[in-house]
Structures are given as structure tokens and as C-alpha cells.
Amino acid sequence: MSKKENVKKIKKYIDEVLNTKSSLSAKRPLKQDKLRNLFCTVLTELQFINARAIGMKHDYAVDFTEYDDPFFKIISSLFKLHFTEKQRSMINWWLYDKFLPSGDILILNDNDTHEEIPTETAEDIWELLQQSKLKDEEENSD
């Protein structure tokens, strides 16, 4: 059964139970969802661009550093407008340090519990930034 058929079936049940005509609409994305999606897209694209530049330099001895540098400066400045220094450090770690050219992947551990903190995806970094933001707000409110 398709999603559309399921929706029609649910609408029919609601109409029967309430004995009225009803309508259903798709959930509108929240502002936070839009920001998360945008952030994840930007981070994933930056990761791709960085990996491509490293690959081009390694495989073909073509160095795009001078060409890419102004773009990365602009992106860095935009990050400064929106993120704290601590948050930018987390983003930069994920973009430039986590994935080593050797293929090894660095992990992040909680200082208190020594448990591994999920950082595999841009979504993980988003969640980490949100937790950091909440923690900073709690500390500043005291």
C-alpha cells in the first residue's frame, strides 16, 4: 500500500469517527529543520570540495589551494558570523582533521565518561553543536 493510499485510508477513518469532512496536510518543516538541512548540506559539500582538492593534488599534482583559498576565507567569515569559536573548532576538526589522508578516522571521546561521541556525519556534528549551544546557554544563565 502506498503512502498516498495510507493517507486516504486514515482520512476516511477520521471522517467516519468524527462524522465530518476533514483534511490532512503534510507537516511543514520547522525553522530548526531547515537550518539543520542547510548546515548539513554545506558541511557535506565542503567536505567533498576538500577531498577533491586533496585527491587532485595527490593523483595529478594539481594544486588548487590558491584558487580555492578566497572561497574558504569567505566561508570561514560566514561561519564566524554564526558560530562561536568553540563551534567553529568542532566544524573545522570534522572538515579537515577527522578524516586522515591515510584513510584512518579520528574519534572524539567525552572527557568525563570517555565514551565515543558520534561524529561520522554532518548530522552528528549538528547535534553536537546544538548540545554545545545548550550547555553554553545554561552556563551563561547562572
pLDDT digits (tens, 9 = 90+) for 60-93: 999 988 898 999 999 999 999 999 999 999 999 9
Q: Does pLDDT of 106 surpass 90?
A: yes
Q: Is 0.85 surpassed by the pTM of this model?
A: no
Cα separation, 96 vs 3, in Å, equals 41
Mean pLDDT in the chain?
90
Q: Does pLDDT of 25 surpass 80?
A: no
Which of 134, 121, 142 minimizes the C-alpha distance to 32? 134
